[in-house]
């Protein structure tokens, strides 16, 4: 599943291409996504301008000219493909998984602008669209989500308060969207390595300095990943043909059995399953 950096790269690609453009037509070929596409979805979008493409956590937000919104979550396998009618489309994928060109199957939704169209493709159909009528409903939609790592609310006071009297391990907390929004499995591993914290450590055993490191490194890792275009575990490229490059910087993820990259450490990278997720850590410097 795309994490915050990959969705941010998608947002940037789309915003440059469709910002201020008017939706001419919407074609829904298959309503049966994770949540059924609502009746009237095409009418909701048609003849509206996309004022901008925003993002919260792992959600794309299309800001519409009538002050309403359309949310898109890509699920496990959803991709957005952008096609320019006046050019050969060698690379159409703005998203994280699968082919860099538009697949022939599973093209569920098509949004048509002048000279450009975007197509939502999703083989597993775990993604979904959602109509949001106004800003109050948008705020309510995300009211149960924790702050993003970049937000000022994600601070030491907040973290210590959230962790108080809790015994869940820190890895599961980083994946808990009610605690902090946008972090997924890949980046949780990298954040904890930089913070020198073992993934299965209970949060009630963390010291203040551990929490400070986790806050700082959450921002650092995600910022670096966005700058490098995300992590291309498969064939991800954005619409400009740039491939995500952050996987070259992995310190622990998918490096089981290899030596720790920390120069002062002679440890090896181990793998452990935590809540059904592959977890990677150094057996020496993460304590």
Entry pTM: 0.90
CATH topology of domain 4-141: N-terminal domain of MutM-like DNA repair proteins (3.20.190)
Count of CB atoms situated within 10 Å of the CB of 130:
17
- Copy the structure tokens of residue 12: 């940037």
Angle at CA 138, nearest 5°, toward 136 and 140? Answer: 70
Catalytic machinery residues: 2-3, 58, 277
Among the listed ranges 11-15, 132-136, 245-249, which one has the minimum average pLDDT value? Answer: 245-249
- Copy the structure tokens of residue 133: 């009528």
Among the listed ranges 77-91, 150-164, 170-184, 193-207, which one has the minimum average pLDDT value? Answer: 77-91
What is residue 94's predicted lDDT score, i.e. its pLDDT?
A: 85
What is residue 95's predicted lDDT score, i.e. its pLDDT?
A: 66
Same fold, 4-141 and 156-282: no
What is residue 118's predicted lDDT score, i.e. its pLDDT?
A: 96
Please give the share of the chain, as a percent, with pLDDT higher than 70.
92
Q: How far is CA 279 from the centre of its chain?
A: 18
180: Cβ contacts below 8 Å, ≥ 6 apart: 146, 147, 148, 149, 154, 173, 174, 218
The architecture in CATH of the region 156-282 reads Orthogonal Bundle (1.10)
Mean pLDDT of 145-153: 97
The model's pLDDT over 183-229, given as tens digits with 9 standing for 90+, comes to: 999 999 999 999 999 999 999 999 999 999 999 999 999 999 888 76
Task: Compute the distance between CA of residue 132 and CA of residue 66 in angstroms, rounded to an integer.
Answer: 11
- Length in residues, the chain: 287
What is residue 252's predicted lDDT score, i.e. its pLDDT?
A: 96
Please give the share of the chain, as a percent, with pLDDT higher than 90.
79
Query: Where are the chain's structural domains?
Result: 4-141, 156-282
| Closest listed residue to residue 109, CA positions, set 87, 88, 90, 131 | 131
What is residue 101's predicted lDDT score, i.e. its pLDDT?
A: 86
The model's pLDDT over 85-103, given as tens digits with 9 standing for 90+, comes to: 888 888 888 866 567 888 8
Task: Compute the distance between CA of residue 159 and CA of residue 167 in angstroms, rounded to an integer.
Answer: 14
Mean pLDDT of 35-55: 97
């Amino acid at each position: 599943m795309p994490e915050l950096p990959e969705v941010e790269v998608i947002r940037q690609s789309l915003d440059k291409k469709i910002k201020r453009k008017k939706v001419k037509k919407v074609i829904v070929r298959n309503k049966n996504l994770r949540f059924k596409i609502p009746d009237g979805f095409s009418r909701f979008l048609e003849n509206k301008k996309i004022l901008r493409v925003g993002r919260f956590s792992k959600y794309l937000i299309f800001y519409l000219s009538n002050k309403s919104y359309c949310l898109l979550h890509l699920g496990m396998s959803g991709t957005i493909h952008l096609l320019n009618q006046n050019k050969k489309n060698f690379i159409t994928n703005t998203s994280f998984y699968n082919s860099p060109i538009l697949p022939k199957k599973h093209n569920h939704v098509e949004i048509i602008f002048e000279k450009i169209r975007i197509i939502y493709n999703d083989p597993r159909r775990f993604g979904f669209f959602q109509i949001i009528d106004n800003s109050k409903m948008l705020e309510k939609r995300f009211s149960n989500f924790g702050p993003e790592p970049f937000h000022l609310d994600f601070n030491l006071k907040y973290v210590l308060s959230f962790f108080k009297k809790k015994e869940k391990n820190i890895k599961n907390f980083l994946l808990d969207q009610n605690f902090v929004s946008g972090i997924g499995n890949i980046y949780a591993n990298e954040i904890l390595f930089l913070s020198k914290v073992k993934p299965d450590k209970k949060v009630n055993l963390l010291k203040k300095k551990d929490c400070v490191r986790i806050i700082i490194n959450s921002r650092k890792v995600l910022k670096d990943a966005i700058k490098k275009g995300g992590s291309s575990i498969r064939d991800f490229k954005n619409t400009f043909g740039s491939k995500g490059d952050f996987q070259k910087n992995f310190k622990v993820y998918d490096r089981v059995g290899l030596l720790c990259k920390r120069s002062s450490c002679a440890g090896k990278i181990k793998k452990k399953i935590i809540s059904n997720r592959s977890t990677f850590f150094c057996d020496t410097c993460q304590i």
